Amino acid sequence: MTAGYLRLYSSILRYGSYFAAAWGALFIRRWIKRHRERVAQSWPIAEGVILSGSVSRIRRTSHFHATLNYTYFVQECRTGKYVQECSLEANADEFVRLMKDKRVRIRYKQSNPGKSLLEQSVVEQILLLAPRIE
């Protein structure tokens, strides 16, 4: 083999491993999110409100995180956050804009009310009902 082919194979292997690691990390995050939602199905529900949101780029990828901050009341005022992955920054910004100030159902752990979860199905329902301006 020539040196050119060795460099080519080395580059393919190196960049392929970066690509695989990035997608592996995204897969693991998604699996953890689904697992947490399954665990929380038996938790009680409290009324909550989305207070704010922010958008940030996911390191080493072209995707973005849209993070929602919410509040709910169980014995005292509590807060939590929900993170949605988006492929485009414009979609993440629109997601945050549509969700801000919305009333939502929050699941919380009865033995530790500070531990909470905003379910993806609740978010999807709000997005389906949101008016679209074009």
* Mean pLDDT in order along the chain per 10 residues (134 residues): 70 73 73 81 94 91 92 96 92 93 95 93 87 58
Element (H, E) at 48: strand 45-57
CA distance 134 to 131: 10
Is 10 inside any structural domain?
A: no
Is 14 inside any structural domain?
A: no
Say what the pLDDT of residue 93 is: 94
Say what the pLDDT of residue 37 is: 81
Is 6 inside any structural domain?
A: no
Buried b or exposed e, range 91-109, using 16+ CB within 10 angstroms: ebbbbbebbeebebebbbb
Domain that holds residue 89: 43-129
Say what the pLDDT of residue 34 is: 80
Is 24 inside any structural domain?
A: no
Number of domains in the chain: 1
Is 89 inside any structural domain?
A: yes
Say what the pLDDT of residue 92 is: 94
Is residue 72 within 8 Å of 106, Cβ to Cβ?
yes
Is 81 inside any structural domain?
A: yes
Is 108 inside any structural domain?
A: yes
Please tell me the number of Cα atoms within 13 Å of 84 on its side-chain side.
26
